[in-house]
Amino acid sequence: MRFVLAVSALVLLAQRPAAAAGLTLPGQLAELQIHGFISQGFLLTSANDYLAHSSEGSFEFTEIGLNFTLPATDRLTLGLQIFSHDLGPIGDYRATLDWYSLDYHWRDWLGIRAGRVKLPFGLYNDSSDIDAARTSVLLPQSIYPAQNRDFLLAQTGGEVYGYRDLGAAGGLDYRLYGGTIFLDVKQQPGSPFTVVDLNVPFVAGGRMLWVPPIEGLRLGGSLQFLRLETHLLPASSSSSVAVNIPVMLWVASVEYTVRDLLFAAEYSRWRVRAQSSNPAMFPESLTFSERGYALTSYRVNSWLQAGAYYSVLFPNTNQRGGFAGRQLDAALTLRFDVNAYWLVKVEGHYMHGTAGLSPSLNGNRPLSSLTPDWALFTVKTTAFF
Amino acid sequence: MRIGAFILVGLAAGSLTAEHPRSTYVLIANPASRVSKIDRKFLAEVFLRRATRWPDETPIQPVDLGPDAPARARFSQEILSRSVASVRSYWQQRIFSGQGLPPPELADDEAVVSFVASHPGAIGYVAAGTPLSGATVLELN
């Protein structure tokens, strides 16, 4: 029923001829801008369940967003976005405040946002929900894993941002942030532990993008620190184990746009340490993961784009051997813009390795027992205004 | 097979035809901005909303033509070095991540002239030959 409603809304939205809705407020207040999007996708894998129960085909791939932005003065902007999604076991169509902020743009080189703010990590993390903004259906999952959306997408706190003109050297775009992440604990079926609580005392980081005087080129780096604190109750014990997980992530990024052709490449390493109050129950560890991709897309004309990328994921650099220690993903996409407010995408992936798969989606089978070479086919349609 | 043929026709059509017919345009600003020349890089930053104030601190109010206007296509390619569709993707990213709003898109050249003439700090572009009553022509450095 929910799927039928979502598709009905999509069709209605797609037929809407106008651009963003505007609502004029009384008095001296500026116009309230209303934008929205709705997406419905389908996932099918030749083997293994990926993101959803995809081996049998899954429509559990839905996103709906509605945002309201009010430029209250020429320096102060208020905004919020309501978001609901479903992707296999995550989302479940719960409506959440995706972001909300008070944005004070004091100077072009210094602004402040307070509230829940999208995390600037890499080139595309803060826009990863926005299907209309890219060619591919799925961003390279090595750096932008959809399964980690709740951890990596937004933080509640504040950020300073700005753009500094460097004259002949181009310009510098920067964002620095600090805050916390509120997580909704969901028990993984088959897990040997029950999560008693889970907190993120802090998340902090920044992104700097240099826009050199070569048109269309962006070079940058992002760094993020966060700490997870959790208490886990083992199935075989009545006392919980305290686990602290400090994490450091960084990514180096390059993007070059020339006319209708786009190249992007990113390389990232994530350092995850697990500190345990009871190493016998929950072992301590230090893990480095390595991630990267190269991507290209080309806009053939006003209604057709083609894209391709190759993405690699090594969740533990000390265990690269064996197909369970890696996931290599070669993807091809065609995007059809039916009109300025409605698009359809078709995408195929050839995957080697199982490191990006979720054991809980695959009957809690070890990753080494899953099919090493498999394919993913996905179709997605999005309407937006 | 049919899908393949459809895609091939699309690729061929795309490579043979331009996205929009080309048209020359004229840059215009509100006379109160007291600006007669503008740097191309600064102009691009204004329309991407990275630069938001004139040198005298007046807020800049850029205004676009609609996505199908030939002058918009030429302005996007020459000043922003991107197609109109690429610029719209850029704004999709900004809007839905809470980073900002695009310049308003007005229906035609006359509406842009009227907006620019009546809003201090406003800047826009219109097809060459459009009557510019109340707006000042800007020269590109």
Complex-level ipTM: 0.86
What is the per-residue burial (b if ≥16 Cβ within 10 Å, else e) of A99-136? Answer: bbbebebeebeebebebbbbbbbbbbbbbbbbbbbbbb
Q: What is the pLDDT of residue A188?
A: 67
Phi then psi for residue A87, to 5 deg, are -140, 95
CATH class, range A35-384? mainly beta
| Chain B partners within 8 Å of A256 (Cβ) | none
Of all residues in chain A, the one with the smallest CA distance to B13 is A301
With CB atoms and an 8 Å threshold, state whether B67 touches A165.
no
Q: With contact defined as beta carbons under 8 Å apart, do B65 and B108 qualify?
A: yes
Q: What is the pLDDT of residue A183?
A: 82
**Neighbour order of strands in the sheet with B25-29:** B37-38, B136-140, B25-29, B122-127, B61-62
A277 contacts: CB under 8 Å, gap ≥ 6: A241, A242, A243
User: What is the C-alpha separation between A32 and A36, in angstroms, rounded?
Assistant: 13
- Give just the sign of the alpha carbon dihedral A41, A43, A49, A53: positive
- Give just the sign of the alpha carbon dihedral A131, A354, A52, A338: positive
Q: How far is A202 from chain B (nearest CA, A)?
A: 21
DSSP-assigned letters across all residues of B33-63: G---EE-HHHHHHHHTTS--B-TTSPBPEE-
| Chain B partners within 8 Å of A348 (Cβ) | none
Q: With contact defined as beta carbons under 8 Å apart, do A85 and A61 qualify?
A: no
DSSP-assigned letters across all residues of A217-254: EEEEEEEEEEEEEEEEEETT-SS-EEEEEEEEEEEEEE
User: For an interface test with A, which of B47, B95, B105, B115 has the most A Cβ atoms less than 10 Å from its Cβ?
Assistant: B95
Mean pLDDT of B83-112: 93
Q: Strand A76-87 and strand B105-106: pairing?
A: unpaired
Q: Strand B37-38 and strand B136-140: pairing?
A: parallel
Domain spans, chain A: 35-384
Characterise A71 by phi-psi region: left (phi > 0), alpha (psi -120 to 50), beta (else).
beta
Question: Nearest CB to A33: which of B77, B83, B101?
Answer: B101
Mean pLDDT of B52-66: 94
**pTM (whole model) above 0.95:** no
Q: With contact defined as beta carbons under 8 Å apart, do A244 and A227 qualify?
A: yes
Mean pLDDT of A293-306: 95
Tokens standing for residue A264: 């992007």
Q: Which domains does chain B have, with CATH numbers?
A: 23-140 (3.40.190.10)
Higher pLDDT, A137 or A187: A137
Tokens standing for residue B96: 């839905």
At A20-54, the pLDDT tens digits run 666 555 554 468 999 999 999 999 999 999 999 99
Q: What is the pLDDT of residue A31?
A: 83
Mean pLDDT of A361-371: 94
Q: Strand B61-62 and strand B122-127: pairing?
A: parallel
Q: How far is A243 from chain B (nearest CA, A)?
A: 32
User: For an interface test with B, which of A302, A303, A379 has the most B Cβ atoms less than 10 Å from its Cβ?
Assistant: A302
Mean pLDDT of A220-227: 97
A202 falls in which pLDDT band (50, 70, 90)?
Answer: very high
Percentage of chain A beyond pLDDT 90 is 79
Of residues A295, A273, A296, the one with CA closest to residue A283? A273
Q: What DSSP element (H or E) covers A295?
A: strand A285-301
B45 falls in which pLDDT band (50, 70, 90)?
Answer: very high
In this structure, chain A runs to a length of 385
Mean pLDDT of A4-25: 49
Query: Among the residues of A115-266, which ranges form H helices?
Result: 149-152
Of residues A301, B124, A137, A283, the one with CA closest to residue A128? A137
With CB atoms and an 8 Å threshold, state whether A99 touches B97.
yes
User: What is the C-alpha separation between A103 and A126, in angstroms, rounded?
Assistant: 16
Of all residues in chain B, the one with the smallest CA distance to A162 is B50
| Chain B partners within 8 Å of A100 (Cβ) | 98
User: What is the C-alpha separation between A102 and A96, in angstroms, rounded?
Assistant: 18
Q: How far is B84 from chain A (nearest CA, A)?
A: 9
Question: Nearest CB to B92: which of A126, A133, A334?
Answer: A133
B67 contacts: CB under 8 Å, gap ≥ 6: A340, B84, B85, B88, B105
